[in-house]
Amino acid sequence: MSPETSPAPPTPAAPPRRSPGRLSQLVGQSIIYGLGGTLARLAGLFLVPVYLAAAGTEAFGEAELVTSAVAVAAIFLRLGIVNSMSRFTLAESPTGDWAPVLHTIYTFVLSASTAAAVAGVLLREQIAEALSVSDSLALAGVLGLWIVMNYDVLARIYRVERRASAFVAFQLVNVAITVALTVVLVVVFDYGAIGLLLGNFVGTGIVLLAMTWTRRRAIGVRHFDRALAGQLLAFAVPLMPTNLAIWALNFADRLQVQRLASPEELGQYAAAAKVAAGMTVFLAAFQAAWTPFAHALRGEEGDEVAKLTFAEVFTFWSVTMGWGLAALTLLSAPYIALTFPEDIRQGAIPVVPLLAASIVLYGVYLIMSIGVNIALRTRMTPVIAAFAGVVAIGLNFWFIPAFGILGAAATTLIGFSLLAGLQWLNARHLYPVPYEWGRVARVAAYTAGIVALSIWVVPETGALAIAARVALAAAYPAGLIVLGAVSRDDLRRIPAVLRARRRRRGAQPLDDADVTP
């Protein structure tokens, strides 16, 4: 009798593997979405000296202050409902019937923005007094509020429908119209701050009308659902304090600089912020693609694939944004020194890297937040954001009188550091992701070293100094390889990611226009 054979042990499941196709999807979406934003930021960056010379530093600051007020009013009036669009379409509607969600959000925002516009016209004198601006600037802000609120809804619809190419086309048209109008109003007709505002808002309004006509079948009031509106608001309203606190981190310092320093220093700060906003080219592109991408990965192989991919994205983000921060710091100093008015140069140059680093940290916060959102445990997010905002605003009462606009930039960096760090602590218990902290730390240290060289060692002007700055920016990736922040395996994977991206483009266009109603 043959001995009894025992059954073979089950073959262990292979660990989830990283796929170049997943990363290439995010890269491709970010590149497409970033195209319009890149041109907009570049146009804005190179036109800042023109606007400063034509309108004046004080008018530039006033326009920035009104724009900031529009941003906070839009956050408050939307009650966060637009932020729920991705969560209630991509993550919750397997049948693809998104009409009730889109119509409900569109109707809510249209009604709120129209009511706010009527109230704003009636209260224009009080608004102007609160902001210390003219009545005409207050009215321009009211117009801008209506346009911005409704434009955001249409932009989100294009993103959840993944109509990237069409969205970018509208962005490019927006840039062209906005730049042309602003130059005509400010440079030709000398309208100052009102020209800066109307050029921006009217150009966006024209594009809003075109987008509304193009997507008229996807939006409207026909499928407005009051019960669904309650669900959307129940998800979104608890996050509204987060949005307000993040606004405070981004823009409240403008009002504090105006009151605690001077209108002229507000103009200097606004000019420096426009240059630092070059970092939002990467941030806006990434943010547009990130939420749909992250929700599409939920649940793959017990979320292990998603977690590995999120960790890889964070490393990729750190390298990309580190390079961007180093290059912006190196190249912005000679640009400001050579093109900006003399009364702005020395004050703006050291402010730029602090504000740009704050933008990088906001991106870190977005990545850390995805686990919290997936786990639907967002109750601590408003607390974290409020704490970071209160700390930054509170420190401004000391830092701005003591250090001027450099102090305002420093408190912004402190606030965003708290926001990103505390959100990571919050997320690690709810949705732990194996981030590659050792590599990220090397990237951060190397970038800080480059920024320090730019500020304290390399001169701002002169042919040799500018050549050295360009060389340091170009050599940034080589330094990461030497430090081990980027490995040979990473370099070998780049062609695989690009090949996967080409295969995706050949198999399916980026505009997935047929997947939505």
472 domain residue, yes or no: yes
pLDDT for position 191: 93
415 domain residue, yes or no: yes
pLDDT for position 53: 87
Q: Tokens representing 117?
A: 């516009």
134-142 long-range contacts, Cβ below 8 Å, gap at least 24? 134/194, 136/194, 137/62, 137/63, 137/66, 137/193, 137/194, 137/197, 138/66, 140/66, 140/194, 140/197, 140/198, 140/201, 141/66, 141/67, 141/69, 141/70, 141/197, 142/116, 142/117
pLDDT for position 83: 74
Handedness of CA 398, 400, 401, 403 (dihedral sign): positive
Residues 213 and 244 in one domain: no
Low-confidence residues in the chain, pLDDT < 50? 1-21, 93-95, 301, 496-517
Residues 251, 71: contact at Cβ < 8 Å?
yes
pLDDT for position 32: 56
15 domain residue, yes or no: no
Residues 366 and 404 in one domain: yes
The domain boundary residue, chosen from 162, 190, 224 = 224
463 domain residue, yes or no: yes
328 domain residue, yes or no: yes
pLDDT for position 285: 65
Residues 66 and 133 in one domain: yes
pLDDT for position 290: 66
Residues 157 and 130 in one domain: yes
Residues 251 and 386 in one domain: yes
pLDDT for position 341: 86
Q: Mean pLDDT for the chain? A: 81
Residues 211 and 280 in one domain: no
pLDDT for position 137: 96
pLDDT for position 13: 42
What domain count does the chain have? 2
343 domain residue, yes or no: yes
- What distance in Å separates the CA atoms of residue 462 and residue 308, rounded to the nearest whole number? 46
Residues 165 and 309 in one domain: no
Residues 166 and 270 in one domain: no
Segments forming the whole domain that contains residue 54? 38-224
Residues 304 and 395 in one domain: yes
The domain boundary residue, chosen from 168, 199, 224 = 224
pTM check: above 0.85: no
Handedness of CA 365, 368, 371, 375 (dihedral sign): negative
Residues 217 and 262 in one domain: no
Residues 463 and 378 in one domain: yes
Residues 365 and 442 in one domain: yes
